[in-house]
Structure 1
Amino acid sequence: MNILILCAQGGVAGSTYSISYLAKGLAEKGHQVFLGLKENTFLDSLVENSAVHRIYMPFKGKLDKKTRTIITKIIDKKNIQVINAQSSNDRYVGPIINLFRKNKILVVQTRRQHPKQMLGANKFFQNIFNNFFSDYLVTVSHELKKIFISRGIKAEKIKVIHNGTPTEQYIQNKRLSQQLKQNLGYTDDDVVIGCVARYKNQPQLVKALKYLPKEWKVLYVGLDEKSYRERFPDEPDILDVPQQVKCTGIIENKAEVIQYYTLMNVNILPSTMDGFGLALVESMAMGTPVVATNYAGIKDVVQHEENGLLYENENYEDLARQIEKAVLNTQLREKMIQIGYEAAFKKFSIQNTINNYESFFEEIIEARKSKKDLKIME
């Protein structure tokens, strides 16, 4: 297959890793994979020295003419069979190009996050765009699919393909873990409540801390204190809690990020925007129990009291109860660790994701070809 993947973003984020895994995985299986991206982004560095063909594009807005011109040339020159748009601005490019082409290109959008609430004209035009100008939507969870259907997207246009993670990367580096622990001033006796994410509604965790022991430690990986405070100008004391709190800031080295999980007694994702929650799978793979919001796609990943714990959104006492349970209930904790391993290494492996995308793309390309052949015969 000849596949063009588009990504206008590409900063340090779980979705960026996911896109790089997908592009490289499909290329390694022998497909011609072209990745339209911005130059010198984090995504650019992740696919460097791989079989993926990088095509630099400006992506200056949803209707950027220069980006459309580049894509049109690639479609014709490389015989592109399917376009897979992975972020906001690039979702508009393929359908707009198809408006002016006789030979239409299959356009597949991948949606990873909970969509913003839209009303009136915005919702009307978005639904027309998704239902009539895009061929398919891939959502990363069944719960996200339900949300898009409730917003007016046709169910038959949506395919669920879970995110995946490369299982070979989950090896504990005891020397690095010990170094990180020493740098943070932690001891083996400390209870550490962790959160590995950029901004994902961490104030819910902050508000739950008053119900938890003061001697426990709090660690935010991927968030720095300055930017965290700046998000809440009306709450200057947002981090002034009884527990010791430390922030690492953004960490680009995935091998290092993974080792932080080993310092934590529990990893918490208090998110209302995730369509999946890759950090939860990473945590499971490293043997750290998870607590997350009972919300949207997270429910595809975490089964309550099986491979993790769920709390009700904005119920801070419930969040605190679930955290205590994950830390103190030894029997439940061991059960969640074991089942979490199985989920991470079997159900949510990147190989499953790559295989599912490959099968789906082959299926829709063949269906389009059969439709054209039938039309010619008529």
Structure 2
Amino acid sequence: MCEKMVLGLNQKGHDVSVLASSYGSSRPSFLHAAHRKLHYLEEKYRNPFQRRFMQLQHAYLGCRNSVIARRLIEELSPDAVLLWNLEGVSSQVYFGISDLDIPLVWVLGSHWLAHDKAEFDEPVSFLKRYYRLGMLGFNALNEIRLEQSIFVSHSLAQSYKKVGFEIEGSVIIPNGVQESQIGARKEIEDDDIARGLQIVYVGRIEPEKGIDIAVEALHIILEEYHIPDVSLTLVGIGEPEYISALEQSASQKGLNDSVIFAGFLEHDQLMDKYAEYDVLILPTLQFEGFGLTLIEAMSQGLPVIASDIGGPKDIVEHGKNGYLVTPGDAGALAGQLLALWEERHKLPELGKAAIDTIREKFTAEQMINNYEDFIEAAVA
């Protein structure tokens, strides 16, 4: 999404420089010309000792990142600085440049900073609080100002307000799909109506995404409702241990032929492949800041079923372009899938409503224009 924003602003005549980490540098990207100088803070540990070592390493690298950012910003002397997803490079970057006479605009697409502040504000002993301060370079998260911020959803903005951040003056600018990529849902033929339900999940394969709930829901609709020809395709990569556990669970439930692990797909491949499915599900158990896979699937006329938590509530209009279900409730998800199958003649209507929603609210062109307006107002 950052790529779309940068390229869009460049096309509108703005000179945008990017300071990034080396994370993901192995894949082709517009970032090949970026300043790849920041250190990426990996979250990998297996025991408490490794966790402490990682925290100390993060504190050091966060301090280094703040120095790198300040030097480059002083060299470039930009009109404004966008702080886009500092989760992987440390909030210390903000503290390293906050005294510069340059407008700072946060772009917040996830719950990470609110989560860190909530954890930081927990009542703890003096020594533990002092240790936490040290991890932040002795800067308190309470000092971060978010009055001039961009949130990707109303739900996300409210989650930051709930933990005590001042967000008055911030705006909501949702992510978007390029208008040229918005497709048209193919008409459903009679033989399609007669068949079962082809379900797809797209995203990281990890416990927080609730994929085990989806597997259980699939088991319910096959065992209790006996719907023929139902499959669940999982597109994405993730934790090997969790993937192995899912494979074992599917095998124990007799779902070897019904749960398909498709692995990673390139974006263009994925957008074309949506036409093969009847519904996309997002059964997440954790707070989602937005739901990019939702709008991409909907842009291809695919109805969606998502957990009723966080950003998806800003996107999905229950019963119109998709459905919302209780997080962690396999029975509720199975029930909604059953209802969709029983009324699958309505799939074209749901698909058209999904496309209309994207055209009205979630295009990249709208996003870029809104970014430009907000940044220009911040500079004025």
Q: Is the 8 A contact 2:196 2:341 kept in 1?
A: no
1:293 Cα offset (Å): 0.5
CA deviation profile, 1:299-327 (whole Å, cap 9, x unmatched): 00101001111111122111111112233
User: Paired residue for 1:83, among 71, 81, 84?
Assistant: 81
Matches within 5 A, 1:1-378: 18-39=1-22, 41=24, 45-47=28-30, 54-60=34-40, 61=58, 64=61, 65-87=63-85, 88-90=87-89, 92-98=91-97, 101=99, 103-115=100-112, 116=115, 119=118, 121-122=120-121, 129=141, 132-133=144-145, 136-171=148-183, 189=195, 191-199=197-205, 200-213=209-222, 215-223=229-237, 226-230=240-244, 232=245, 236-237=248-249, 240-243=252-255, 244-251=258-265, 253-271=266-284, 272-330=286-344, 332-366=346-380
User: Unaligned stretches of 5+ in structure 2?
Assistant: 41-57, 124-132, 187-193
**Range moving further from structure 2, 320-329 or 138-147:** 320-329
CA deviation profile, 1:147-197 (whole Å, cap 9, x unmatched): 1111111131532111111121245899xxxxxxxxxxxxx9453111011
User: Unaligned stretches of 5+ in structure 1?
Assistant: 1-17, 175-187, 367-378
Change beyond 3 A, Cα 1:264–1:318: same
1:256 Cα offset (Å): 0.2
CA deviation profile, 1:271-323 (whole Å, cap 9, x unmatched): 23321111111111111111000111110010100111111112211111111
| Pairwise CA RMSD | 3.2
1:42 Cα offset (Å): 5.2
Distance 2:59 2:13 in 1: 31
CA deviation profile, 1:95-140 (whole Å, cap 9, x unmatched): 22235x4x43322222222343765644597995355455533211
Equivalent residue for 1:180? none
Q: TM-score, normalised by structure 1?
A: 0.77
Amino acid paired to 1:56: R
Amino acid paired to 1:363: A
**Range moving further from structure 2, 148-157 or 277-286:** 148-157
Amino acid paired to 2:220: Y
Q: Is the 8 A contact 1:37 1:44 kept in 2?
A: no
**Identity score, percent:** 23
Q: Is the 8 A contact 1:223 1:247 kept in 2?
A: no
1:40 Cα offset (Å): 7.0
Amino acid paired to 1:30: G
CA deviation profile, 1:234-254 (whole Å, cap 9, x unmatched): x95356434311111122x21
